[in-house]
C-alpha cells in the first residue's frame, strides 16, 4: 500500500522501533497521569518502594533499571514533594534507606488506576493474541541479552552485574600502579 521509502532501512531498525514504541507508551502514560504529575520513572520508583520499603538507592536503581545518578535525581524530586523519606543506614553510613511516606503511599494508590489505563491503551489496540506474543518476545529478547532484572538476587545481595547494569561505576579507577 504505502510506497516503499528510502528510509525503511532506518525505520526497521530495532533500536528505532523500540524508541518509537517507547515514545508512544510514554506519551500515553503522561496523558493518563497528568493530573498526578508523575512520570513513568517516578511511578517505577514509587512502586518498588511500596513493595520493598527500606532499600537503598543502588538497589532501587538495579530494580528499576536506572543508574545511580538518575535514581538520585528521581528520588530528590520525590523527596521534595514529601512522597518519601530517607535516612542513613546505621550499619553503613554510605547507604541511604528509602521508604514511601503516607502521602507517597496515597499517591501511588491514586496513580495506579491511571497507570493501568495507560497500559491498557497501549496494548488494547492489538488483538489479544498479539499482546501476549509481543510482551513475551520482548521478555525473551531481554532474557537472552541477560537484561532481565532479577529482583531476588538483588535483594539477597547475590547480584552479579551484567552487561546492562548501569548502576555501578564500570572498571573503577585505573588503580594507579605502585610498581612502576
Partner DNA sequence: AACTTTTCGTCAGACGTATGTCAATTATGC
Partner DNA sequence: GCATAATTGACATACGTCTGACGAAAAGTT
At closest approach, how far in Å is the CB of 119 from DNA? 17
Residue 151 binding result from DNA, a second copy, none, given CB thresholds of 5 to 8 Å by partner type: a second copy
Tell me how far the alpha carbon of residue 85 is from its chain's centroid.
20
- Per-residue mark of binding to a second copy, 55-74 (x: CB under 8 A): --------x-x---------
Residue 51 binding a second copy, by CB under 8 A: yes
Applying the rule CB under 8 A, the residues between 22 and 41 that interact with a second copy are 22-27, 29, 40
Applying the rule CB under 8 A, the residues between 72 and 131 that interact with a second copy are 115, 118-119, 122-123, 125-126, 130
Residue 134 binding a second copy, by CB under 8 A: yes
Burial 114-125 (b: 16+ CB within 10 A, else e): bbebbeeebeee
Q: Which of 108, 100, 110 is nearest to 52 (CA)?
A: 100
Rounded to whole angstroms, the Cα distance separating 26 from 24 reads 5
Rounded to whole angstroms, the Cα distance separating 135 from 139 reads 6
Amino acid at each position: 500500500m504505502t510506497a516503499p521509502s528510502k528510509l525503511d532501512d532506518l525505520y526497521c531498525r530495532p533500536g528505532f522501533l523500540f524508541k518509537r514504541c517507547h515514545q508512544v507508551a510514554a506519551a500515553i502514560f503522561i496523558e493518563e497521569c497528568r493530573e498526578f504529575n508523575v512520570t513513568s520513572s517516578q511511578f517505577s520508583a514509587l512502586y518498588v518502594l511500596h513493595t520493598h520499603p527500606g532499600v537503598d538507592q543502588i538497589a532501587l536503581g538495579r530494580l528499576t533499571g536506572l543508574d545511580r545518578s538518575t535514581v538520585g535525581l528521581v528520588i530528590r524530586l520525590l523527596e521534595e514533594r514529601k512522597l518519601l523519606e530517607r535516612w542513613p543506614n546505621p550499619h553503613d553510613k554510605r547507604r541511604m534507606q528509602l521508604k514511601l511516606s503516607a502521602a507517597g503511599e496515597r499517591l501511588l494508590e491514586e496513580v495506579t488506576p491511571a497507570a493501568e489505563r495507560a497500559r491498557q491503551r497501549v496494548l488494547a489496540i492489538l488483538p489479544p493474541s498479539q499482546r501476549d506474543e509481543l510482551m513475551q518476545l520482548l521478555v525473551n529478547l531481554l532474557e537472552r541479552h541477560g537484561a532481565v532484572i532479577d529482583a531476588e538476587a538483588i535483594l539477597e545481595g547475590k547480584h552479579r552485574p551484567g552487561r546492562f547494569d548501569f548502576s555501578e561505576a564500570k572498571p573503577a579507577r585505573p588503580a594507579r600502579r605502585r610498581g612502576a
